[in-house]
Amino acid sequence: MNASTLFSTGVFINASSEFSSLVTCGVHQQHICHRSIVNDVLAECQASALQKIDGLLVMENKAPFTLHEPYLMDCREKFLKSYRDARAPILRGGNYQLKPEELIARDPLDQALRYMAIARAYFHGLH
């Protein structure tokens, strides 16, 4: 006797479960067919999505390129200074005797400010 036995009535009895469950033959086959179709569509979508994500990662990992490196660095420094000046009151906390270098050293977000400044400088000349 198999785990599932087909009786002459067209009903499967699942003998492997603790409680025998009855599933009609037609409904069971349709369920398997629909599950197969859904799994096939999901596999196609997954492959397509992974291909698109890989393409985006390749584009994203390319280094920024410019023919005007000195201009880019000047813009970056200008934007970085404005970002640091905007954060200075927060970092000072009423202590106005701190030097700008000390403020930069105390700022945990300074690296993020650098990224923001280079991104803004890079796209500054595009509009």
Dist. CA 106–CA 95, nearest whole Å: 13
Is-contact 117 83, C-beta < 8 A?
yes
Q: Which helix (H) or strand (E) holds 24?
A: strand 22-24
The position carrying tokens 């025998």 is: 20
pLDDT at residue 32, as a whole number: 72
pLDDT of 112 over the 90 cut: yes
Domain ranges of the chain: 4-60, 69-124
The position carrying tokens 């106005």 is: 96
Higher pLDDT, 93 or 18: 93
Higher pLDDT, 83 or 28: 83
Judged by DSSP in three states, 23 sits in strand
Q: Tens digit of pLDDT for each residue in 18-61?
A: 444 444 445 556 667 778 888 899 999 999 999 999 998 888 88
